[in-house]
Structures are given as C-alpha cells and as structure tokens.
Amino acid sequence: MNLIDKLQNVDTRIIYIVLLITLSIPLLHPIGIPMQINPMTRAVYDIVEGLDPEKDIVLLSMDYMPGAGLDAEVCPIAVVEHLMERGIKWVAISFGTTDGPMMTNRIITDLERRGYKYGEDFANLGYMAGGENAIRLFALDCLSVPTDVRGNRTSDLPVMQGIRTIKDFAFVMQFSASTPEAWIRQVVDPMGIAFATGTVTVCVPSLVPYYNSGQLKGVMGGVSSAAQYEILCNKPGRGASMMDAQSMGHLIIIFFIVLGNIGYFLSKRTKENLAAK
Amino acid sequence: MQISTNIWQWISVACIFGMWSLPLYKDNPFYRVCQNIFVGSCAGHAIGIAVGNMVKYGFQPVIQQSQLHLIIPIVLGILLYARFFPSVAWLSRWSVAFLVGVGVGQAIYSSLRSQVINQAVAAMTKFPGETLGTTVNNLISIIGLLAVLTYFLFTIPQTRFVKGFSQLGRWLMMVTFGVGFGNVVSGRLSVLLGELLKIFQDWLGLI
Amino acid sequence: MRKEVPLLITLIVSIIVMLSRITTGPVPLIGISMPELFEEYISPWMTVVSAFALCLASVNLIMVHSGNISRKRQEWVYSLILLVTLIIYGAFCTYVELNPDNETAAANYSLIYNYILSPLMTGQWACLAFYVASASYRAFRARNLEATVLLVSAILVMLGAAPVGSLIWSKFPTIQQWLLDVPNMAGQRALLIGAAIGSFVASLRTMLGIERSHLGIGGSS
Amino acid sequence: MTLVPGNVFGFWMFVVISVIVVYMIRASQNDKIQVSIRTIPGLEAIEECVGRATEMGRPIHFSPGLGDVVSDSVPDTLAALQILSYVTDIAARYDSQLLVTIRMPNVYPLAVETVRQAYTAANKGDAYKDNTVRYISSDQDAYAAGVIGLMHQEQVASSILAGLYMGEALLLAESAARLGIMQVAITASVMQVPFFVAACDYTVIGEELYAAGAYLSNDKGRLGAIAAQDYIKLIVIAITILGTIVTSFGSTFIQELVTK
C-alpha cells in the first residue's frame, strides 16, 4: 500500500483516538481564547435584564433529554443562574419529553442546596402528555395542571399566584434539543407573547428566519451561546470552560476534511495518469 | 488528581465507556449489555410517566370530580391496544383516527399561517435598502428564496430559464446545508466535550 | 362501519381543532364556541389518549422480547437483560409518579436515572462526534461544484463559530454571521415554505379521507 | 361564530387552496388535465439500489423514518410508506430480499400492510415473511443502534432511508457507508440533509419527499395534488413579489392584507 492509499484509508478508529486526544488537552489546560458575543444570545440577556423582580414571573418549558448532553443543558443553567441572581421567580413545565421534569429537578436540587425556596422562588409542574395540544391547553389555562411534581396543588403554590393564562408570564422561554415550531404555531402567533428559545447548536441555522421575522425574540444554541451568556453575566461556568476545546475540535475536523480531500485528489490524479498511459 | 470514591460515578463512567466501545473498538458483549439496559430503562421510564399522566389527567378527575366525559378518552386509549387481538384489531383504528384528527387539525391551518404567510411577509423587504450592503443582502435573500421555491416546482415545463433559476436554488441550498453541517460539528463536539468534562471533573478529579 | 367511522372521527375532530384556533362566539345549533369545545373536551381527551399511546411502544417491546426468550432465539440473554431493566425502571418510576410526596423514593429514582439511564443516552449521542469526524474525513470530498460549495461554506462556518477562528482572521465571525443571516436564511425560509405547503396538501388529503393508508384501509381513493 | 382578527386572509386562503387541491385531484383522476412531473434523479436510483442487492444476493434495507402517524410528522411518514410500496414492488420483481425496520409502534401495522399488499399485487404473496418488517425500538437512539447491528448481521447491500429523520441520521448513514452499503436518502428534515449528502450516494431533498409517492406510483390523484402544490407555490411567489414591490414604494398594504 503506497502513501496515497494510506491517506485515503486511515482506520476510523485512529481518527477517533486523535479526536479524543485533541479535545482532552485543552480541556485540561485551557488557553483562554477570547470570544465574540452573538446578537441573538445578547437579545435573551437583554430581555432578562429588563424584567422586574417585583412582579415579573418567567415560564421555562424544559423539553430536552439527557441524551443531548451538556449542549442542551448549559443554556438553561446559564439563564436560570441569571434569573436567580436578579431575584426573578420562574416556573418550569415539560411538553416535549418525559425526561423534562428530571432535567428540571437537577437544576432545582442545586438551587435548594444554595438556600433558595421551592414553591416561592420556582416550581416544577412536571410533564404533560399530548404534544402541541398540551401546550395550547396549558397556555389557555395554566391551572389545568392539577399538581406539581411534589404533589402540591398548582393553585396553592406561592409562585403561581396571579397566573391564569400564559399571558400572565412576563417572558416565556423554551429549552429543547430541537426547534420550537409547536410553540410558535400554538402560542406565539395566536397569543402574541414574548418568547425566546434555547436549543442545541445544530438547530440554530433553521431558527434564523423566525428570529428575523420577530416570532422569536432571542435564540441561544448550545455551548457557545451559553459560554457567551456566562461572560455577559460575568460568571464563567461550564460553557466557558469548554470553548478552547471546542476550537481545537473545529480545527481537527477541518484537518480531517483537508486530509480526505488531499488523498482523494492525489488518487484521482494517479488514476488519470494511468488512464492516459 | 483525586479519583472519585462514589460508586455511582464509577457506574456512570462504565456506562459511557460501554457505549463508546462500539466506535472505538468493535461490536462486543459489554456494548450489547449496555445497549439493552439502555432500551429497557428508556421504555420503563416512559411507562412510569405514562401511568402517572393517565391517573393525573384521566382516572382521578373521573373518580374525584366525576368528570364522566373523560371515560371516552380512557376507552379510546384502551382501544389502542386492541391491535394485539386480531379479531378486534380494527377497533384500534378509532383511537388512531382521533389522534390523527387532532394532529392534522393542529398542523393544517397553523402551518399555513405560521410557516407560509408569516414567512412570506417577512421576506417582503424594501428596495433600495438603507445602505448598499442591506440592498445587496435583501436582493440575495429574495432571489434566493424564489430560486429555491422554483426548484421545488415539479409539474411546470422545464424551460431553460426555469432550469437555470432552479440550479441557482440548488447552489443556495448547498450553502444552507454547508452552514447546517458547520453548526452540527460544534453541536456534536459539545456533547462529547460534556462527557469528557464529566470524566475529568467528576470521576478523575483532574480539573 | 369499519371504514367510515374512523374517517368520520378524523374529519370531525380535525375541523373542530382547526376552527377552535380561528373562531370565537357560539356555533349555531350547538350553542358552545369552538375554543370551548376544544378546551373542555378534545384537548383533555387528547392528553389522556396520548398517555395511553405512550405505553404502546413499551408493550410492543415486551411482546417482541418475551417472544425471543420463550423461543430461546439467538442472543435471548440480551432480551432477558432488557426485560428485567424495563420492569425495574417501570415499577420504580410508576411508584414515584403515583406517590409524589415520598421524597426518599424520588431521590433514589433520581440516582438510577442520573447515573445509569442518562450516561447511556449521552454516551450514545457523544458517538455522533466520532461519526462527524470520520464522515468529514471519508465523505466530505469536493467531487463536483455543488459538493465544493457545501464544503467551503461548512468550513467557513466552523472557523467563524469557534473563538480560534477570529484569532486566525478577524473577519471569520463576520463571514459566518453573514452566511447564517443571508444565504442560509433565504434557503431555510424557502425550504420551510415549501415543506409547509407539501405537508398542508398531505394533511388536507388525510383530513378529507382521500389518503387513508394510515388507518390500514387501502391507499388513496 | 366569527373569525378571530389576524386570520381573515389566512382562513380564506385556506378555503381557496383547499378547493384548488380537491379540484386538481378530481380533474387529474378524470383525465381532464395531464400532469407530468420533472425527473427526480434520486428516485430513479432506487431501482439501481434494488438491482445491486439482487446481483450481490444480499438483502435491501428500508426505513420509513423516525416519524409517527399521530403527530405533525404524519405527512412525512405517509410519504415514506408510499415509497415503501414501490420498493417492495421492485424487490418482488427482482426477487431480492427486503428488510424493513420500524421505530414507531403505530407505523408497524401500516408497514406490514403496505409490504403485504405490494407483494400480493406483484403475485409474490409467498415472498412475504414474518420477519420482513421488524420493530426495533421507539427510542430514537436505540433504534439507530438496532439498525446498525442488523446491517452488520444481515450483510445488507443497499439501504433506502425515507421520511423524517433526527440526530441519528448520521449514525445510520455513516455506519452504513463504512460497510460499503449503497444508500438513497429521501427526507424533508432539512437539518439532516448535509449528512445524507455527505454519506449517501443519492439524496432527495425537502418537498421532493412529498412528491415521491406520486412520482413513483404515477397515481393520477396524487399527481393532481402535486400540480395543486405547484399552484400554491406560484401564488406564494406572486404574493411575495407583489409585496416586495409595494413595500418598496413605501406602502405596507400587502403585509396588512395578508395578516388581516
């Protein structure tokens, strides 16, 4: 096997090992490459900054599953952190996946450990089956969820006082591992609420039209957005610590593309030469 | 470095390595065990949540608040399982018909309103724009939109103009897909990075 | 009866759901408005039926794998592992759901959820990063002009999205943002409109019963 | 009963285009109009896929996607089942073995019915076996893992992926590509198209999925619906151009009209 063939046929396992090593090094020894803030992320930050802690309550729709990993989890953590710091109350509910309530509980457990009060500062209303239909039902009547995950009556929760329909929330944000079309169709367009979304990096390009048309007031996508948000809040967390490794990962993927193409063109030329002879 | 002494951390890392053993090594019994535990636990979790919802939104309101009309969906829900008994399997069509009806009813008008009309309105921009830059961008946006839509016209005669214009649409779609791929790379890397971070931080205590 | 009833159910339910979004005021003859009809009946019904549907997959799985075990099919041990896990999680999660005030049970369930199910899921997803790497190396080749356009825009976006890109050349983030906001948005918008129209027509055919294959009663008519 | 403001135009547009769709379907069925559809190269490749499997004496794999029939993915899944009917027909003619994998339990009975009917129609009723259509798992990741395993075990020669796909698109396509399987992907899931373009031999994109059933079956009613779809697109194009012109002259008349 000559060099050209070798370049064309590197064992995929070698590629995987190279990737693992390249990612691990900057994770263990961060370099601290500066980053720019995306306007769609800043829009979310500005909305939260503009809320009034005295009266405004925020609704978070937690629709991601653990499978999407930190890429989905860092955005809600960053936003909730900001909400708590500003003293804004929030309520979480899940429509998209049965895993949603568990993901909310992870955040809540941490907050309770730090002394925040369940029921007064936040609440977890659990999972509601029925997809788009459930979203609409909840939007029209928020008390249609009889109890929260801890068995309290929803109408008795201090944080839910004064909430009847979704319009009573000052700001609604969905966190998912996909796109928020269901929310746009069922709630945003017909009821005209302030709505933003936090999703995984993959979904960002398909959300630009909705941001551009004003149906989404802000968009966060994955680790890089969360890192930017953490920087805006002056609280670098897990998102920020991954950005250097993220950079290296991009470079190594580009390197793989180039490597594959070099092999491809060299072998094409050899074949053409052989054919010419 | 301080390796975790928490048994759960060790189990969790074993699970991760189990799933990784397929690409990093090859198909092996450890991977198979992990994969089957995975499928089983997902299904089990779904059963629990489903039963919870049945009771909370179905049985409890019927019994405690005597909302008797909820007996109808409970019957429809049970009929879904009729398919496992060949002689009455056709009854499950009723429940499917109900679910499809709600799905279609929700999608049909809203997709027209949110995805067609609202997007078409957002595409109507002013010419010339405030700066040369915006004018050029708006021009690319609107021509690109029309070109891609033309590509998806299936039944009109393929004249040279139509063919050329839809080829332009194809190129624009390739840019769209390229952007999509570029974003996916960072997304997928983030998931792997998150796992590595957990391994280094929570298990090995390196960071 | 077997054919007409399901078609009628789909038609009536879909009309009520559709009109409930865009009309107000009582419907003549019935005296109740469409939104009320939806909110009081259709919607809570849907929630209940969906809950039953959620279990369907698991029941199917139980049937397939218990069949494997009873017939001692190849690799039936794996089926056994799957079933045992399913029963443990199913029983535990159901108990937690039905007894929300038992905090110890909830905490214990969180353990087996957070430290077994969750890492298995993320482990599988993280494999996608590996596959992205090998696909980039193996398949992303500039075979023709279209493939080259795709490749170049992908690389530009990657360089713009990562902080290191702006260190190499400060214009990369600007280019990335432009690609995202202008060509990508035009393409996405057109694909969105096109797909919505396609799905509208398909939905209409389903609603009117012209397409009925989802009910398993023959193709189109 | 009155219309909620903001939906007047939308409602009447709904009515008008519904009438267009129904009229076109009927007109095409009664031979009042002739609909011819442009070539879609990826769909032509399906036959090549089946042919290759026959030559190699190995099975051909088909997946109707990750969508369900009880959610907003109904159109995608039904379109995929129409393609399945065509694939079964060709497989029956070439006498090649077919393998269908299913994610959603609701899709399972429909796929069984589709395959059985297609085999019967081709007079190969006995070619249908109990394990032709296999339910894998309703969890999307577990489904992908199961299909990858099956591709290894059964030494699949070619694979057709139709319908709705999510993140596992690459898991499926890349693992198959590593095994040297010929692949055709047909999907309207825009986010997954880049991977299919990279890893598959042919990719059929976006709305082409919904046209595939009509294209492959030559069913007159379905062709009529495709023609109607084109008219709707032309209407949208016209409204957009008109709106842009009017906006450029400083009026928001069209925007206000259509969102009335």
Percent of chain D whose pLDDT exceeds 70: 99
Structure tokens at A215: 């149906």
pLDDT score of C216: 66
| Conformation bin of residue C169: beta by default, left when phi > 0, alpha when psi is -120 to 50 | beta
Q: Which residues pair with A176 in a beta bridge?
A: A63
For residues C42 and C20, what is the distance between their CA atoms, to the nearest angstrom?
A: 10
Q: How far is A262 from chain D (nearest CA, A)?
A: 17
How many angstroms separate the CA atoms of B113 and C200, rounded?
11
Q: Which residues of A touch C140 (CB under 8 A)?
A: 257, 260-261
Find chain B residues with C-beta within 8 A of D152's C-beta.
27
pLDDT(C219) > 70: no
Question: Is the pLDDT assigned to residue C220 strictly greater than 60?
Answer: no
| C-alpha separations of D140 from C89, C121, D51, D104, D191 in Å | 19, 10, 30, 9, 16
**Looking at chain A from residue 137 to 166, which residues have their Cβ under 8 Å from any Cβ of chain B?**
146-147
pLDDT tens digits, one per residue of D113-170: 888 888 988 888 888 877 788 888 777 777 887 788 788 778 899 999 999 998 788 8
In-domain check, residue C29: yes
Hey, is the C-beta of D191 within 8 angstroms of any chain A C-beta? Answer: yes
Instruction: Residue A234: count other Cβ atoms within 10 Å of its Cβ.
Output: 7
Rounded Cα distance between B77 and B91, Å, is 11
User: In chain D, whose CA is at the least distance from the CA of C148?
Assistant: D198
Contacts of C39 in chain A (CB under 8 A): 137, 140-141
Cβ contact (<8 Å) for C55 and B51? yes
Any domain includes C100: yes
Distance from CA of C205 to the nearest CA of A (A): 21
Hey, which residues 73-132 in chain B have their CB within 8 Å of chain D? 83, 89, 96, 99-100, 103-104, 106-109, 111-113, 116-118, 120-121, 123-128
Q: For chain B, which chains pass the contact test of at least 3 CB pairs under 8 Å? A: A, C, D
Chain B interface, mutation test: which of A28, A70, A150, A152, most B Cβ atoms within 10 Å?
A70
Whether residue C221 is predicted with pLDDT greater than 50 in this model: the reply is: no
Decide: D243 and B121 in contact? Cβ < 8 Å.
Answer: yes
| Contact with chain D for residue B139, Cβ under 8 A | no
Banded model confidence at residue C110, pLDDT cuts 50, 70, 90: confident
The reply to whether C10 touches chain B by the CB within 8 Å rule is: yes
**Degrees (nearest 5) of the Cα angle C16, C22, C24?**
85
- Look at residue C195 and tell me if it is in a domain: no
Contact B191, C126 (CB under 8 A): yes
Q: What value does the mean pLDDT of chain C take?
A: 86
Q: Is C52 a member of any domain?
A: yes
Contact B23 A28 (CB under 8 A): no
Q: Residue A248: list chain C partners with CB under 8 A.
A: 164
Task: Report the residue from A12, A132, A202 with minimal CB separation from D191.
Answer: A202
Residue D255 has a CB neighbour count (10 Å cut-off) of 16
Residue C180 lies in a domain: no
- What pLDDT score does C214 carry? 67
Instruction: pLDDT band for D45, please (50, 70, 90 cuts).
Output: very high
Q: Coil, helix or strand for A29?
A: coil
Asked if C126 and B22 come within 8 Å (Cβ–Cβ), the reply is no
Burial class (CB in 10 A: 0-12, 13-18, 19+), B131: exposed
Q: What is the pLDDT of residues D171-203, one digit of tens each?
A: 888 888 878 899 999 998 888 888 888 788 899
Q: Which of A24, A36, A132, A252 to mutate to test the interface with C (most CBs of C within 10 A)?
A: A36
Kindly report the CA angle at C54 between C50 and C58, in degrees rounded to 5?
160
Question: How many angstroms away from the CA of A103 is the closest CA of chain D?
Answer: 18
Is 90 exceeded by the pLDDT of residue A219? yes
**Total tally of structural domains belonging to chain C:** 1
Cβ neighbors of B75 (< 8 A, separation 6 or more) are none
* A137-163 pLDDT per residue, tens: 899 889 888 888 888 899 999 999 989
**Within an 8 Å CB–CB cutoff, is residue C140 touching chain D?**
yes
Contact between chains at B109 and D208 (C-beta distance less than 8 A)? no
Distance between C9 CA and the closest CA of chain D, angstroms: 14
Residue-by-residue pLDDT tens, chain B, 207 positions: 688 888 999 999 999 999 898 888 877 889 889 988 988 888 888 889 889 989 988 999 999 888 899 999 999 999 988 878 888 888 888 988 898 888 888 888 888 888 888 889 888 888 887 889 889 999 999 999 999 999 999 998 888 999 999 999 999 999 999 988 888 887 788 888 888 988 888 888 887
Structural domain including C56 reads: 4-122
The CATH number of A39-236, from 3.30.2320, 3.40.50, 1.25.40, 1.10.8, is 3.40.50
CB contacts, 8 Å: D7 with chain C = 21-22
Residue D202 has φ and ψ, to the nearest 5°, of: -135, 140
| Strand arrangement, sheet containing D98-102 | D133-135, D98-102, D60-63, D158-162, D182-187, D202-205
In sequence order, what are the residues at sequence separation of 6 or more whose Cβ sits closer than 8 angstroms to the Cβ of residue A95? A61, A63, A127, A128, A130, A131, A134, A135, A138, A182
**Partners of residue A133 in chain B, C-beta under 8 Å:** 102, 106
Q: How far apart are CA A242 and CA A239, in angstroms?
A: 6
pTM (predicted TM-score): 0.83
Q: Is the peptide bond before A180 cis (omega within 30 degrees of 0)?
A: no
CA distance C28 to C9: 21
- DSSP readout, C28-43? TTT-SBHHHHIIIIIH
Distance from CA of C168 to the nearest CA of A (A): 11
**Subunits that touch chain C (at least 3 Cβ pairs < 8 angstroms)?**
A, B, D
Query: How many angstroms separate the CA of residue A138 from the nearest CA in chain C?
Result: 10
pLDDT greater at residue C75 or residue B49: B49
Interface list for B 19-48 with C (CB within 8 A)? 19-20, 22-24, 32-34, 36-48
Give me the interface pTM, i.e. the ipTM.
Answer: 0.82
Q: Which helix or strand (DSSP H or E) is residue B22 part of?
A: helix B7-24
Whole-number pLDDT of residue C218:
54
Mean pLDDT of the A253-261 span:
89
Min Cα–Cα distance to chain C from D96, Å: 24
Q: How far is D176 from chain A (nearest CA, A)?
A: 14
Distance from CA of A242 to the nearest CA of B (A): 7
Domain regions of chain D by residue span: 8-27+223-258, 41-217
Does residue A177 sit at the B interface (CB-CB below 8 Å)?
no
Given its phi and psi angles, is residue D176 left (phi above 0), alpha (psi -120 to 50 degrees) or beta? alpha
All structural domains of chain A with their residue ranges: 3-30+243-276, 39-236
Q: From the options 1.10.3470, 3.10.20, 3.40.1360, 3.40.50, give the CATH code of D41-217.
A: 3.40.50
Cα dihedral across residues A269, A272, A274, A276: positive or negative: negative
Considering only the beta carbons, identify the residue of B46, B185, B191 that sits closest to A250. Answer: B185
Sign of CA dihedral A109, A115, A119, A123: negative
pLDDT reported for residue C1:
66
Q: What is the C-alpha to C-alpha distance for residues D137 and D123, in angstroms, rounded to an integer? A: 32
State the first-to-last Cα distance of chain C, in angstroms, to the nearest integer: 17
Which residues, 6 or more positions from A169, have their beta carbon under 8 angstroms from its beta carbon? A57, A58, A59, A91, A163, A193
User: Nearest CA of chain B to the CA of D193: how many Å?
Assistant: 7
Number of CB pairs < 8 Å for A and B? 141
Binding partners of D (≥3 Cβ pairs within 8 A): A, B, C
**Taking CB atoms and an 8 Å cutoff, what residues of chain D touch A181?**
72
Q: Is C135 on the interface with A (CB under 8 A)?
A: no
Tell me which residue has tokens 């041990």.
Answer: C77
Taking contacts as CB-CB distances below 8 angstroms, the residues of chain C near D221 are: 210, 220-221
Contact C207 B105 (CB under 8 A): yes
Interval C148-201: pLDDT, tens: 898 899 999 989 888 788 888 888 888 988 998 899 999 999 998 998 898 899
Average pLDDT (A5-15) is 82
